[in-house]
């Protein structure tokens, strides 16, 4: 039986960084002779909140020192808060300080989700000799492409709601803002002022709409070869960063500096950004089976790497995936799965795929000479975000699977739907849309969504994404489009694991807005975020032998019975 320890506290201990700035640090110590292994948690959300206090005491009860630190410029820590930019060096300096303390045995693991995971990833490439393992939950590693400008569009809802809550030293309430009005503020650079406050990083981010040197320090995807510690990662199919969780997994497997780093573990459930706090995500109850004791799994990981206990932490499969539709967990070895059959599902119509009751169909058959589809994208009346991989205020913009039928009755949403399936089809892997499209605007957006349509007509979103036309070839050298040209666009829709049951239908939605998850493209071609002018665009989607628009599905063969 594990020893249970009483807890001693040392609160608001100042820890000096290399530039002399002191960060407020709370320390939870087992009441016994040390030294002990250490769990480090660094947060912008206050180290003096109930959940973190409870975790700190629990770690100390189990024979760990828990170090909980306010990041620079937040709460009781000194300095200026610049989201993400100081976390690599501050994390490393804190790890070095911990390693020199008499209560530390020189073995540190890091824990936490979202920003608390970002600080883990950012500091790991600096390779403190005391850092031994990570457990990052729900966080990306390329902040330009996933956090701020996903697909080249501005991540409006996240930047606004999360930004307003964290823009000052302490937490700020956002509950009384008129978000409908605020999200429509133009130009985007004026939105923080419209909300009555200054969000310094808001304008700074909008001033850097290219993946340039400004973002370079925050691109850990280029530093996987500098990470030398084992990583246990956790995310959900409806988390906004899950696309990049698989990039992290593959990046470490291919480039991690040590054998331990090249053996990451990844757990993916049917969860939103808060992970498995409930069996329900959005409008779907995935059942009791969907819940895992992630804290127990994390405990086992730390016991193995920090206490060097003999346990089964390394016996777990590299991937543990929840397959929606069948609502079963499954162990896998690689991503994408080696047995994947990549299937092209082509768009078809007689030119009237507008709305779910139009004539748009989806099939394995290549298109014949079919007329294109048209719709008007008017940024004054954008398609509303209804669920999906969102963050961080579900009362403002909901997350998870929702019935999309009200969205699919808009004339600016094209729906391509398969016949009812005779047999079950499992789709597990990255989803991609190859779209042949034309617009009469110099710039516009294209959105794609994969939907599971039940026999009763309920249309549940699985994954979706956006691509801003000017970024179709590069995030460093954007180029506007020629209205006379048909372009091929590749939309990386996201990852999913879903069993389409017999009688269900597979649907693809194509449109040009998903608001306020993403900002509206004003269709003018002007500088990002600076525009108060809006203009409507006439969009044309082709599906023909010359322009075979399609969705590429990773179909997993059903085992023979």
Q: Is the dihedral of CA 92, 96, 97, 102 positive or negative?
A: positive
Other residues' Cβ atoms within 10 Å of the Cβ of residue 457 = 11
Q: How far apart are CA 160 and CA 148, in angstroms?
A: 11
Beta strand residue intervals within 17-166, DSSP E: 22-30, 36-43, 65-70, 104-113, 131-137
Q: If we measure between CA atoms, which residue out of 511, 512, 506, 514 comes closest to residue 551?
A: 506
Active site residues: 114, 239, 273
Q: How far is CA 192 from CA 59, 170, 187, in A?
A: 39, 17, 10
Q: Helix 87-99 and helix 115-123: axis angle, to 10°?
A: 70
Q: How far apart are CA 544 and CA 371, in angstroms?
A: 8
Q: How far apart are CA 329 and CA 316, in angstroms?
A: 13
Q: How far apart are CA 443 and CA 533, in angstroms?
A: 13
CA dihedral of 543, 545, 549, 555, whole degrees rounded to 10: 130
Which residues does 101 contact at the CB level (< 8 Å), separation at least 6?
none
Other residues' Cβ atoms within 10 Å of the Cβ of residue 90 = 25
Which residues does 6 contact at the CB level (< 8 Å), separation at least 6?
30, 31, 61
Query: In this structure, are residues 90 and 72 in contact, taking their beta carbons and an 8 Å threshold?
Result: yes
Three-state helix/strand/coil letters over 416-441: EECCCCCCCEEEEEEEEEEEEEEECC
Query: In this structure, are residues 523 and 445 in contact, taking their beta carbons and an 8 Å threshold?
Result: no
């Amino acid at each position: 039986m594990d020893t249970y320890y009483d807890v001693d506290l040392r609160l608001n201990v100042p820890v000096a960084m290399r530039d002399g700035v002191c960060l407020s640090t709370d320390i939870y110590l087992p009441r016994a002779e040390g030294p002990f292994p250490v769990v480090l948690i660094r947060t912008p959300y206050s180290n003096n909140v109930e959940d973190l206090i409870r975790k700190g005491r629990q770690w100390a009860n189990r024979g760990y020192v828990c170090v909980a630190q306010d990041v620079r410029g937040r709460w009781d820590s000194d300095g200026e808060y610049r989201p993400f930019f100081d976390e690599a060096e501050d994390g490393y300096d804190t790890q070095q300080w911990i390693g020199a303390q008499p209560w530390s045995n020189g073995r540190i693991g890091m824990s936490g989700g979202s920003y608390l995971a970002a600080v883990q990833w950012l500091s790991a490439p600096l390779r403190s000799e005391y850092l031994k393992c990570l457990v990052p939950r729900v966080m990306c590693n390329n902040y330009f492409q996933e956090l701020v400008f996903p697909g080249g569009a501005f991540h409006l809802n996240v930047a606004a709601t999360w930004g307003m809550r964290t823009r000052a030293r302490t937490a700020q309430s956002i509950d009384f803002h008129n978000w409908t009005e605020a999200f429509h503020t133009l130009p985007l650079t004026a939105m923080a002022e419209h909300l009555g406050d200054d969000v310094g990083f808001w304008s700074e981010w909008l001033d850097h709409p290219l993946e340039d040197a400004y973002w370079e320090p925050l691109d850990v995807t280029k530093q996987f070869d500098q990470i030398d510690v084992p990583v246990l990662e956790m995310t959900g199919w409806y988390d906004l960063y899950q696309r990049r969780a698989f990039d992290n997994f593959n990046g470490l497997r291919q480039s991690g500096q040590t054998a331990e780093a090249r053996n990451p573990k990844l757990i993916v459930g049917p969860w939103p950004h808060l992970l498995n706090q409930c069996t329900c995500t959005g409008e779907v109850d995935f059942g009791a089976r969907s819940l895992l004791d992630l804290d127990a799994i994390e405990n086992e990981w730390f016991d193995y790497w920090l206490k060097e206990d003999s346990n089964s932490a390394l016996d777990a499969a590299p991937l543990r995936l929840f397959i929606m539709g069948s609502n079963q967990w499954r162990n896998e070895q690689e991503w994408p799965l080696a047995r994947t059959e990549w299937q092209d599902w082509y768009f078809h119509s007689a030119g009237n795929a507008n709305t779910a009751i139009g004539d748009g169909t989806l099939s394995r058959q290549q298109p014949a000479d079919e007329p294109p589809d048209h719709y008007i994208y008017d940024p004054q009346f954008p398609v509303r975000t209804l669920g999906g991989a969102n963050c961080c205020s579900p009362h403002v913009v909901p997350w998870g699977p929702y019935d999309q039928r009200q969205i699919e009755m808009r004339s600016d949403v094209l729906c391509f739907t398969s016949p009812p399936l005779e047999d079950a089809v499992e789709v597990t892997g990255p989803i991609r849309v190859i779209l042949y499209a034309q617009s009469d605007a110099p710039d516009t957006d294209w959105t794609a969504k994969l939907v599971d349509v039940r026999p009763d007509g309920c249309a549940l979103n699985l994954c979706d994404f956006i691509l801003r036309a000017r970024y179709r070839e590069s995030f460093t050298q954007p180029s506007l489009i020629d209205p006379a040209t048909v372009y091929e666009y590749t939309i990386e829709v996201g990852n999913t694991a879903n069993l389409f049951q017999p009688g269900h239908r597979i649907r693809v939605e194509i449109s040009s807005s998903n608001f306020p998850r993403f900002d509206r493209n004003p269709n003018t071609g002007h500088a990002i975020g600076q525009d108060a002018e809006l203009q409507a665009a006439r969009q044309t989607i082709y599906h023909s032998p010359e322009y075979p628009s399609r969705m590429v599905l990773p179909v997993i063969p059903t085992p023979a019975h």
